[in-house]
Amino acid sequence: MSKRWDQLEERLDDYESQIDTVYQLYHIPVLAALMVFMLWVRVRHYSRHIGPDGQPLYRGNDPFYHYRSTNYVIENYPFTMPFDPWTGFDAGQQVGQFGTLFDQVVATAALIVGFGSPDQSTIVMTTLMAVPVIGTLCAIPVYFIGKRLGGRFGGLIGVVILALTPGSFLSRSVAGFFDHHIAEALGAFVALWIGMVMVTVAQREQPIYEFIETREFDLLKRPLKWGVAFGIAIVLTILVWPPAMFLFGIFAVFLFVHLSAEFVRGYSPDHVAIPATVSMLVAAVLLLPFMGASGFETTSISVAQPFLALAVAFGTVFMAAVARFWDRLDDVPRIAYPAGILGVGLVAIGVVAIAAPDVIDYFTRQVLRIAGLGSTDTAATVGEAQAVSNPGQFFYGSYGLAFVTALGGFVLLAYQGLAAERPRAEQLLVLVFAVMMLLFTLTQNRFDYYFVAAVGAGNAVLVGWIYNFVDLDDVRRDIANVKPYQILIVVAILFVVAGPLVATGATVSAADQSSQPGSMQQWDSSLDWMNENTPAPGAYGSGAEDTRLEYYGTYEPTQDFEYQDGEYGVLAWWDYGHYITTRGERIPVANPFQQHATESADFLLADNETESLEILEEDSSEGEGVRYVMVDYQLGFAGTLKYNAPTAFESEHNVSDGDVGVTVIDPQTGRPLYGAETQRGFESMRVRLYQHHGSAMEPSRFVMRFDQYNSTAGVATPDEEQLYEPYNSSEEARQAAQQDPNAIHGGVFGQPSERIKALEHFRLVHASEYDRPAPLVRATVPRERWEDVPQHSWVKTFERVEGAKIEGTGPANTEVQASVVMEIDSTGETFVYNQFAQTDDEGNWEMTVPYSTTGYDEYGTDAGYTNVSVRANSSYEFLAVESEEDSPLGTPWSAPAEVTEGQVLGENDTTVQVDLQEGRTPQTGQQNSGNSTSE
């Protein structure tokens, strides 16, 4: 009996030992499972981002420049690109936050995977996998942050939130979003974790200045070691993204609050001040070798980053020194210490503002940019820089009820700090981080992918408190005595934190949506065409094979790169600059660094050709200047996502959204249905190019009616009974629109309210294949019928040319119309280019046209010009109708003429002579229609 009892006790001991082992290690498999889930969600649609030709189809525009930077590192390992003349024509660009540690790490991974010589497919695959892997690794610091606040269960809850959030953290860590954002987050999370350890060790070891005087360095070893680690962690984050210097600011706020609280409660600020100072000094010293700019800049390593680190170090030493001085003042209460420090700080800022106002102005702008609770007009055009307009909806969408429980955790954290005899510094550090990140996120929604760590930490605090309150630790000691309420509490915690997100499938759904390729899908064919059918930079006008600009060449930084003969720029909206650099291998004027964004906006909104040419000549006077302009669907039609964006950047025209177009919205959902151009919108270069290909356009004979129309905001709701009403003449339509405040004359189908002049120096040279119907059609025709209605090319490419000069004779004081039918090779579409001139008293007239009809093969890329894919299928026809009293139709005068490619390009300076013949009938069909396209 005794033997059986011993065996039973031994089995029970083994069972308890196994339970104890499970309890001690359960977090490891759970954490691993969560990380596997995170990786799976992020990589499962990676193939969507590989084009048929193996080229990447990243989401967004910045990833394409990271792709360029990563390839540069592979070509010039381990160095990053110091300067790039392949963007920002005609100045070039210091790439700053691109070509940083992030690209070096990815390039290293590609070199390892490719055994030192990776091909492009290996590089593309590495870039697609890099961000999901980095995002998954974020789980490790988030776990340890949560563990320090709420035990292992709290740490796991933090990772659950990280794994399930469908917000910015997820959208920026899926395959295809090859950007530095998640690498920033990883660096910040690691820095926060190490900072928590540093201040905790400092509070426990209690180093003081006297240890330095007495050389008792053993007593300083551990705090200083963690101080050095904290400084390195911040530096690594800044090397990924230079604007991450805001971490210095967050740490400065923490130091002010914590050192003040320590002194007021009778503790020496030295304890945390010593390792904090060391960390800031280490950061400043480590940043010095990476400085690429002598002034204060945010997007590159400049004086700003080490200056701010040294300022925090000086402020920390100052606070510790003042505390020692304050101790000797018997009549001054400790409670006044924070106010004294704050007062001295304000005086110091005032002195700097007088001595170096630019420095104060710089830092004020940066603070307002990330913590000002609002967006500038230009920032509002950048999705990730927009302020959160509906915080409740935004945060619930990202975290569900976990956001509410996180707020509860923050309140509990603040209460514990106030109630404790000596608050834990790491708790205060997390609380300051959370408050600052909440403020940053409300100002710029991009910071939500930092704020996710704060939400996880807040929940870890709350969960840790509940865990201790219900004594869940007893489960390990006596599994048999687990209470039902303890199980229910664990289930309730998981349900509240994760339930709404799991029940709605928000994570998987958001990952699917975030895994869609970006607009490169619409641009790739146009950029491939540009790469193959335009001269290489340096060869324009000459066809030279030896050009000096190497695509992955190394160039010394300069404020103004000197472009030479044959080197030219391509103008497009700044969103597309990286596309042009990386896929087209041409030099954009504007780019997503927002370099030359104003110049791009001014050109696109210019309402006469002379002004547009002056803009191009003023801002690109070197080399061959700007030779090509690319306009996409979203800039060419009102009501699209980007149509109004240039009005936020322009500097010459003083136009608002309502001046250039009308967005017709669904009154039920508030979503845009379609758009209509105003007369000012039709007169802008972008619409004249995209919709009419530079042709003159006649005024409309219809009126578009709305139910309600706000002309200032450019917003209307549709009139469901009568969308538009035709009239017998444009004058009748104009008068009808003037009498109705909820109507505009023309506006759709490419028809303005007044005649639009033809362009003389810009011609369409390529259009991408058809993509979608016109906006008005989308609103009125079911999707299943879209194939039966006219569609539009997404991207249209235009060339700036000298234009061919035409002189002629005809009837006196009569309008002459020139017309030529042009065919777009990629779509088979034809359009008529129309131009008008007026004869003088003697019947003489002249005009300039940008389209040629012959001689294309003489001026291809071999000669240094464009292999145009838009060519005439007829000669020019010139028509003048002489009015006669006895003939209501008048007498036609006409003549045909050919215009050579050499004349259009300016290589042949001869003038085309046209003598109109009385009574001749034009040969190219209907020339007076005013239609610029076959639609």
Q: What is the pLDDT of residue 662?
A: 93
What is d(CA 864, CA 869) in angstroms, rounded to the nearest whole number? 16
Q: How many CA atoms lie within 13 A of 258 on its CB side?
A: 29
| pLDDT score of 934 more than 50 | no
Answer with the residue of higher pLDDT: 111 or 499.
111
**Distance, CA of 641 to CA of 25 (rounded, Å):** 51
* CB-count burial class (<10 Å; 0-12, 13-18, 19+) for 204: exposed
The span from the CA of 379 to the CA of 349, in Å, is 28
More confident residue, 557 or 850: 850
pLDDT surpasses 80 at 282: yes
Q: Of residues 294 and 795, which shows the higher confidence score?
A: 795
Non-local CB neighbours of 661 within 8 Å, separated by 6+ positions: 638, 639, 643, 644, 675, 676, 677, 678, 681, 714
| pLDDT winner (highest mean) among 327-331, 377-381, 577-581 | 577-581
C-alpha to C-alpha distance for 747 and 215, rounded to whole angstroms = 81
Query: Exposure of 26 by Cβ count < 10 A (0-12 exposed, 13-18 middle, 19+ buried)?
Result: middle
Q: Residue 143 and residue 456: Cα distance in Å, rounded?
A: 9
pLDDT: is 790 or 91 the higher one? 91
The predicted pLDDT at position 621 comes to 64
Per-residue pLDDT at 548: 92
Q: What is the pLDDT of residue 661?
A: 93
User: What percent of the chain has pLDDT above 90?
Assistant: 64
| Residue 97 and residue 302 in contact, taking contact as beta carbons nearer than 8 Å | no
pLDDT tens per residue across span 543-566: 888 889 999 999 998 888 999 999
| 306-332 mean pLDDT | 91
Confidence of residue 929 (pLDDT cuts 50, 70, 90): very low
DSSP state at residue 471: T
Instruction: Note every long-range contact of 366-371, with CB atoms under 8 Å and residues 24 or more positions apart, other chains counting.
Output: 366/246, 366/298, 367/249, 369/443, 369/444, 370/246, 370/440, 370/443, 370/444, 370/447, 371/436, 371/439, 371/440, 371/443
SS3 121: helix
pLDDT at residue 773 tops 80: no
Q: Looking at residue 780, what is its pLDDT? A: 52
- Dihedrals φ, ψ of 261, to 5°? -65, -40
The whole-number pLDDT of residue 935 equals 34
pLDDT of 244 over the 60 cut: yes
Q: Residues 912-923: pLDDT tens digits?
A: 999 999 887 776
In whole angstroms, give the CA distance from residue 23 to residue 65.
47
Instruction: Give the 3-state secondary structure of residue 915.
Output: strand
Q: b/e map of 143-181 (b: 16 or more CB within 10 Å)?
A: bbbbbbbbbbbbbbbbbbbbbbbbbbbbbbbbbbbbbbb
Q: At 883, which helix (H) or strand (E)?
A: strand 876-884
Rounded distance, CA 327 to CA 310, Å?
26
pLDDT over 60 (residue 482): no
Residue 578: band (very low, low, confident or very high) from pLDDT cuts 50, 70, 90: very high
Is pLDDT above 60 for 466?
Answer: yes
Distance CA 571, CA 625 (A): 10
pLDDT in tens, 522-537: 999 999 999 999 999 9
For residues 420 and 403, give the distance between their C-alpha atoms in angstroms, rounded to a whole number.
26
The CA–CA distances, whole Å, from 501 to 507, 514, 518, 835 equal 7, 16, 26, 60
Provide the pLDDT for residue 836: 96
pTM for this entry: 0.90
pLDDT of 374 over the 90 cut: no
- The dihedral region occupied by 838, where left means phi > 0, alpha psi between -120 and 50, and beta the remainder, is beta
Per-residue pLDDT tens for 642-659? 999 999 999 988 999 999
Give the lowest-confidence range in 174-183, 770-779, 834-843: 770-779
Q: What residue has token string 């190019």?
A: 689
Q: Model confidence over 701-730: pLDDT tens digits?
A: 999 999 999 988 899 998 877 788 899 999
What sign for the dihedral angle of Cα 414, 416, 420, 425? Answer: negative
pLDDT at residue 777 tops 70: no
**pLDDT for res 619:** 57
Contact predicate 606/759, CB 8 Å: no
Q: Which of 70, 279, 289, 106 is nearest to 183 (CA)?
A: 106
DSSP conformational letter for 765: E
SS3 content of the chain, % helix, strand, coil (to 5): 50, 15, 35
Kindly report whether the peptide bond that precedes residue 78 is cis, defined as omega within 30 degrees of 0. Answer: yes
In this predicted structure, the answer to whether residue 484 has a pLDDT above a threshold of 70 is no
The band of 17, judged by pLDDT with boundaries at 50, 70 and 90, is: low
By DSSP bridging, strand 912-915 and strand 804-809 are: parallel
CA distance 679 to 661: 8
Q: Say what the pLDDT of residue 120 is.
A: 94
Which tokens hold the place of 532? 């193959």
Longest dimension (CA), the chain: 135
> pLDDT band for position 931 (50/70/90)?
very low
Residue of higher predicted confidence among 884 and 351: 351
Instruction: Indicate whether 5 pLDDT > 70.
Output: no
The H or E element that residue 213 is part of is: helix 209-213
The pair of structure tokens assigned to 744 is 């505009």
Res 358: pLDDT = 87
Q: Is the pLDDT higher at 773 or at 882?
A: 882
Instruction: Report the range of poorest mean pLDDT among 214-218, 265-269, 565-569.
Output: 214-218
CA 566 to chain centre: 31
The DSSP code for 754 is S
Q: What is the distance between the alpha carbons of residues 156 and 37, in angstroms, rounded to a whole number?
A: 14
Q: Is the preceding omega at residue 840 within 30 degrees of 0, hence cis?
A: no
The residue-averaged pLDDT of 472-482 equals: 54
Answer yes or no: is pLDDT of 612 > 90.
yes
Residue 441 · residue 168 · CB < 8 Å: no
At 4, the pLDDT band (50, 70, 90 cuts) reads low
Tokens of 541: 């006008």
pLDDT-based confidence at 419, cuts 50/70/90?
A: confident
Q: Is the dihedral of CA 436, 170, 305, 62 positive or negative?
A: negative
* 295 pLDDT tier (thresholds 50, 70, 90): confident
Burial class (CB in 10 A: 0-12, 13-18, 19+), 788: exposed
pLDDT score recorded for residue 597:
94
Once rounded to an integer, what is the mean pLDDT over residues 142-171? 93
Angle between helices 221-240 and 246-264 (to 10 degrees): 150
Q: Tell me, what's the pLDDT at 208?
A: 87
Q: Give the pLDDT score at 353.
A: 85
Q: Strand, helix or coil at 807?
A: strand
Ramachandran class of 533: left when φ > 0, alpha when ψ lies in -120 to 50, beta otherwise: alpha
> What pLDDT is attached to residue 930?
39
CA distance 480 to 478: 5
What pLDDT, on the 0 to 100 scale, is given for residue 840?
Answer: 95
Mean pLDDT of 365-375: 83
| 429 CB-near residues (< 8 Å, 6+ apart) | 192, 195, 196, 199, 254, 258
| 71: pLDDT strictly greater than 60 | yes
Local structure of 343: helix, strand or coil = helix
What single DSSP character describes residue 693?
A: T
Average pLDDT, the chain: 88
Strands (E), 727-800: 743-745, 762-767, 770-773, 791-793, 795-800
